[in-house]
Amino acid sequence: AELAGDVAELSAVLRQKHAEFWEFRGQVLGSAKKARKLVQEEAEEVVDQHVLKKMKRKMEAFEGHPNSKSQRQARLLANWQDALSSCVHLVPSGSGVVVEVGGRPQVLTCAHCVAADGEDEDLEDDHSDQPSQDPDRAGRLEIVVWPNGDYGLAQCGQFNNDHDTALLEILAVSCAANSLQRLELPTSKVAMAPPSKGTACVCIHNPYDWDLELSEGSLPRKNGYIPFTSSSGTISSNYKTNKNNKELGGTKHSCWTYWGSSGAPLFDCDGDVIALHNSWNPETSQRHAVSWDLLKESVQV
């Protein structure tokens, strides 16, 4: 009787996860064009606000040159479209990016986006409330979805709770025949050098579509956010770690984020990863990210 009850409970959980996955994949397929349009809008925004600002002293020559604003927008758009293809969503809530480590594509994300034994998998942890113990995330499986609707299974093989980083080996990916097989995957790379203050960037992330900040007793409300949302900003400061609060990342940035954005890569204008969004300060609304230094350590073999 006890075994039958366990089987029934597990079956119910699997049905729920199955429904969540196909609902989200439907959202991805339905919003793929919009996600790419958002990247284009952010490319235009960054050129207008950041690239042109650095060209003030050479503005006259710059504006008259045929390889000027439109060309820079096209370059940023191409870089970020490639970057978008390497981004993934960790179902049901979390973000990440595929990088090559040791010759193999792996998902780079935040450690707290990978559930540990005994943790709730329904929503990414609030990183400001991380438990004091050192949870074991090795071997945990996560379903990941790409912007084109492909999906796969990834397993956590390396993690660092103190740095809030994790690497998940991609075990299998769907193909057109709906079977699972190993495929060549688009990847991004961690930038060669750390970002400086004022570096323009774009964050590609997966904000949770339900309003999680309603007052108690309020009716559920959809936000209208789509998977693989792009938001641009700048690096406010960059330190390896946050010495004042270890629960907040060492890099500060101004890209808009929401629940579900943890693990999202911040790309520079070359389309390289310069940080990984992981937290925010509720007192100041300042967004924080895992620093370039820690990401570089994470992907070294």
pLDDT band (50, 70, 90) for residue 291: very high
* Distant-in-sequence, close-in-space partners of 23: CB < 8 Å, separation ≥ 6: none
The pLDDT score that the predictor gives to residue 3 is: 63
Q: What is the spatial distance between Cα 97 and Cα 106, in angstroms, rounded to a whole number?
A: 8
CB < 8 Å & 24+ apart, contacts of 115-121: 115/140, 116/140, 121/92
| For range 121-134, the mean pLDDT | 48
The pLDDT score that the predictor gives to residue 34 is: 81
pLDDT band (50, 70, 90) for residue 13: low
- Residues present in the chain in total: 301
The pLDDT score that the predictor gives to residue 245 is: 85
The pLDDT score that the predictor gives to residue 116 is: 65
Q: What is the spatial distance between Cα 291 and Cα 276, in angstroms, rounded to a whole number?
A: 7
Q: What is the spatial distance between Cα 72 and Cα 174, in angstroms, rounded to a whole number?
A: 35
Model confidence, pTM: 0.81
pLDDT tens digits along 73-100: 788 888 888 899 999 999 878 999 999 9
Do residues 99 and 159 lie in contact, with contact meaning Cβ atoms separated by under 8 Å? no
DSSP string, 37-89: HHHHHHHHHHIIIIIHHHTGGGHHHHHHSTTSHHHHHHHHHHHHHHHHHTEEE
Which one is predicted more confidently, 58 or 75?
Answer: 75
